[in-house]
Amino acid sequence: MMARATQTNEPGRCALLVPVLAALPQPVALIEVGASAGLCLYPDKYTYRYGEHLLGDGDLVLDCDLVGIQPPSRRPEVVWRAGLDLSPLDVRDPGDLAWLDALVCPEHAERRERLHRAAAIVAADPRHLVRGDLAEELSSLIAQAPVEATLVVFHRSVLYQVPSDRRAAFVDFIRRLDRVRWVAIEGPDVLPYVDLPPPPDDTVLNVLALDEVPLAWTRGHGQALVWFGPDVTAGSGGDAAM
């Protein structure tokens, strides 16, 4: 505990990303800032159950209650992925995996099983995680992304850990990027949204936003998504090369 930081990595959160990622022009290239071990960089590898609607046929099934939009009809096609973290973890390292396991509450057996299944999927696939601060290292990762794919920078439950001046520098930087789509899932007070509708209940919820447009309330580990914004998920999203 003296040597490590709190950096819970929850693959269930991919169920919140998929409705937005699948609606963008395909294929996509993903950069996650604050990626921890990168388990959320693999939304194309997991299976999703949105109510009665099953997407995929793998053995790691992520359940999510979807309110206000139709379930996505496809998973995103990911052609490139990279992550950035102050302290990236490697799921192939038994010490790092044990730390991720220790960050799951003892009674959350389902989350622990999900963590280990996702870690096995990630360990089998080459990954590109770099160490660095999100306000400083992002531009070099962007320069490596393939130009023929829709480039998506995303983060979830990260900016609350970033001091306000660094957070402002990151927001300022990302606003000036022209070829990037920006997906944020953060607490309602972390980014400067105005006129958010009241949350559906009094639990702690995050806001899903695309390019600074708030779209939905989301539950912490990806269990539920309540849509309130414009339906950016309608339509297929088309082809990134067009």
Ligand X SMILES: C[S@@+](CC[C@H](N)C(=O)[O-])C[C@H]1O[C@@H](n2cnc3c(N)ncnc32)[C@H](O)[C@@H]1O
Sequence-distant (≥ 6) Cβ neighbours of residue 97 within 8 angstroms: 89, 91, 116, 119
For residue 116, count CB atoms less than 10 angstroms from its CB and return exposed for 0-12, middle for 13-18, buried for 19 or more.
Answer: middle
Handedness of CA 162, 150, 43, 100 (dihedral sign): negative
Stretch that binds ligand X, among 156-164, 186-194, 197-205, 231-239 (CB under 6 A): 156-164
The Cβ of residue 232 has, within 10 Å, a number of other Cβ atoms equal to: 17
134 forms part of the interface with ligand X (CB under 6 A)? yes
156 forms part of the interface with ligand X (CB under 6 A)? yes
218 forms part of the interface with ligand X (CB under 6 A)? no
When binding is defined by CB under 6 A, the residue of 61, 86, 171, 177 that contacts ligand X is 86
When binding is defined by CB under 6 A, the residue of 14, 31, 85, 240 that contacts ligand X is 85
**Cβ closest to ligand X, residue 25 vs residue 133:** 133
Handedness of CA 146, 120, 61, 100 (dihedral sign): negative
Site for ligand X in 12-51 (CB under 6 A): 13, 33-34, 36, 40
- Interface residues toward ligand X, by CB under 6 A: 5, 7-10, 13, 33-34, 36, 40, 84-87, 133-134, 156-158, 161-162, 166
